[in-house]
Amino acid sequence: MRIDLSGRTALVSGSTQGIGLAIATGLAAAGARVGVNGRGEESVAAAVAAVRENVPGAEPVAAVGDLTTEEGTAAVLEAVPTVDILVNNLGIFGERPALEITDDEWRRYFEVNVLSGVRLTRHYLPRQMEAGWGRVQFVASDSAIATPAEMIHYGMSKTALLAVSRGFAKTTAGTGVTVNSVIAGPTETGGVRDFVYELVDPALPWEEAQREFMLRHRPNSLLQRLIRPEEIANMVVYLSSTFASATTGGALRVDGGYTDAILP
């Protein structure tokens, strides 16, 4: 299967590192012109350079802006006015005992993980519907289905994304635009490495720490390892293509079999 996104413009929110950067790189490799988003000019410039290095001939666009603010969102929309493919990847996570999560933290997780994507979708979706073609994706998590006791505020935000994506998919019914969510499982990124070492002995070598983490905190994983960011990106690139034209309103799992259910 050869996926060709030549002539398509994409925007990936929160794409300066980890899963977001892998998605931006994957879309660029398929031929899309990709907007790379982050809050700082330096981090975005580094990510743009990484995409160019990994995909010779790619022309990624720097889309600097904090999507939790009106000013930052306006800057991103100015850098990438229209898109054929929108990937709402921006998200934060962290461990916190349930009874210690403050009102401000609840609001922050909802603002960053949910509303940032809603704002971008609200802007780009009408033009996609007018054009009769478009792709919108929300990067969710296995935590949307199996709420982790150590970060229920994060789980709440990812569960909300499943409802948001399904609702927007109904809005686009019959237009040629598809909206889906991608349920990512435990993935090896810099942030996850830090998170792992918060939960296991920080003196352990990484491979041993990863095994300990999976056994103790993610025992349901059938993969028995952390997922690679590019494995998440592969699903996103597929859903961005014409091959996925009949897939909409769905929650597609790239979770290594972590979620113990036939359907999400």
**How far is the first Cα of the chain from the last one, in angstroms, to the nearest whole number?**
26
The helix (H) or strand (E) run that includes residue 197 is helix 190-199
User: How far is the C-alpha of 237 from the C-alpha of 8, rounded, in Å?
Assistant: 12
Please name the amino acid found at residue 151. M
What's the token pair of residue 140?
Answer: 């969710």
The helix (H) or strand (E) run that includes residue 119 is helix 116-131
To the nearest 10 degrees (0 to 180), the angle between helices 206-217 and 190-199 is 70
In terms of Cβ atoms closer than 10 Å to its own Cβ (0-12, 13-18, 19+), residue 36 is buried
Asked if 154 is an active-site residue, the reply is yes
Which candidate, 127, 114, 118, 49, places its Cα nearest to that of 81? 127
Radius of gyration of the chain (CA): 18
Q: Name the active-site residue from 154, 197, 238, 258.
A: 154
What's the token pair of residue 245?
Answer: 């034209």
Length of the chain: 264
Return the active site residues: 154
